[in-house]
Each structure stands twice: as structure tokens, then as C-alpha cells.
Amino acid sequence: MNKMPNHSIIVIDIAGNTVKIRVFGQHLISKMQVIGFSSINEFMVLPVSDDQDKKRIIRLLISEGALFYMDMVGIRQK
């Protein structure tokens, strides 16, 4: 069973016009709220206006050490 790291940001979804993350650690949650993310259930979400805005948010997440989750469902190995 996989365990989420303490004090981490996991990027769940960056497709479409919303960035969805999972954040562990109150300090990081507060930082993400300052950026503009809001809490919805166990996730934090931020609407993005265009690709430029999305790239800006991705750069911020990378600078905070975010981990990017890759959903491998439906991908076949060759």
C-alpha cells in the first residue's frame, strides 16, 4: 500500500481549466491558499484562465517541490 509523504503537494489533475492538488501539511496548505487554491473535500482546486496561467501555476507548484501523479489506467505496455 502506498503512503502519501508528509508535508507534500501531489498534483492530481492539470487537464482542462482547473488545477487539482492534494496537500499534506498545514504550512503547505496555507501557501497554496495564498496562491489562490481553495479546499474542496480532501483536494484543493484553482481555476485557470488559459494555458499561460496554467504554466505559471505549474511553475509555482514545481518550485514548492510538488509531485505529479500520473494515471496509467488505459496505457498499454509494448
Give pLDDT tens digits for 13-58.
999 999 999 999 999 999 999 999 999 999 999 999 999 999 999 9
pLDDT band at 73, cuts 50/70/90? low
Q: Order of strands across the sheet with 43-47?
A: 38-40, 43-47, 18-24, 8-13, 67-68
pTM score, whole prediction:
0.83
| 53 three-class SS | helix
Residue 28 to residue 46: CA distance in whole angstroms: 15
Q: If 0-12 CB within 10 Å is exposed, 13-18 middle and 19+ buried, where does residue 8 land?
A: middle
Q: Which residue has the higher pLDDT, 69 or 5?
A: 69
